[in-house]
Structure 1
């Protein structure tokens, strides 16, 4: 017993030394990612994805990744730091988002206009799904009807009543636009599932109030930005844009993971307007039942390296673009069978 106890203490001492050294050299290690990210952007390249450990160093994060695109949540191991990052991302981008959504004016009808646009896009999506019954399903059609009803209700409110509503409407509308583009491209049913899951969460986030709405809004802002980019790529041709496509998919994958976690923490029933959401979203997504074992990856550095390597390889494959429309929206890291 004493030999086993001594061996265990020795292992613990080695581990303690290792982690003490990791903590001591953390900033120095993350500095290399900051310098690499700056160099990549100067050359007009997309930066490599830094490990989530860099979230402990906000100044280095800005240099390594920047604030234009959402840094994907590749693991929930750093969730507390990532949630703080979502607030920072929101602060860096909300002014531009409000300008784009025409919410800084004095006419007071910004939310109503967004709701009208959302409703119009839902009608277009429903029409396209009805024409392609093999790739659409009752769940997507039902969700579209719920979104339309909720948009009618939210259009009667003021932006200040529900601060995440405008971002949610924009997110839902852009996801519907992307789904329409995918349908035009002849995608399979699985290609629509990812958009549908983001739409479900955005609908439940629409009525969040208080400080909790900020993190939710940040994930929707990040997902919307990438959906818009993918729509442009689909409209203008994918040739030569494999890396951008994969980056957008990776960012959206991480955004959905964060949405699921936020949904675990803040349910729609807690919001002031929860009754409306409860009526219109009677069948909440099973995303909330996703186990942590499926989502948490302890070795974030290895996962980050894997993502970066995949983007390097797939981004230069000539035949990658031929299969991208069908596969790009399929869930890579989040189980879609729930």
Structure 2
């Protein structure tokens, strides 16, 4: 009788461990499950926010540097007489690292490691509307090293009244960046599914000229993607609200739909929703769980500066 050699216990544990890792990777890449969504979304948000902040700081550092190009002394698009597509291309160049840089200057650009880079001659924008047909491979700005795909719309403008300055109009330039959380895998859609049974994998973010990144669109109403807390003033004994809420609900609790374009851009929800009407970033139907101020955020007058803000909850472990 022929003896069969079996796996030892250590070998079996190694095989099980490797199998588990592969299954987890397949889960995150193939299907945008409810369990994976908040981690993927926060990863995309945090990565963009960190990169945009660094781009703004780089521009500040170069403002008084002799020999620096004017385009490098400002955040992409934050210059006079720059067209919206050129601004989007410059944002792409400063967000993404080129894995095959043409020169040393290009090698210094970018904060997101990439495996596919189309921020040069092949750069294309996607329409602000964000139709599913727009998110084709040939329209991708770049693909990051974690396989997420990034698409950039041309620079936009929105005008918001400032209640802290006599309701004077404040014009804000911004970019809409779309991130495909699970690469080329399906469903490859940015169109909100009202029954919420099927997760949407292409999500939009707003990037402002001050380097702030704002969540927008359907994820702000769905706690499967992100949640936020209200942050109270320093004079309050509590620092944050007790329970996490959808981002949109926290905005209402902190600002009660008042908007402060200079004081706190996290309050700018209604104006962006009006600007994005008819796009995949529009919230067509949603009833928030709160209808006004958190009691610790209430103001005596609409002309008072807000005393609260919001903090996006971290999701770093999967």
TM-score, normalised relative to structure 1: 0.26
Which structure carries more strand by proportion? 2
Which structure carries more helix by proportion? 1
Greater relative CO (CA pairs within 8 A, separation 6+): 1
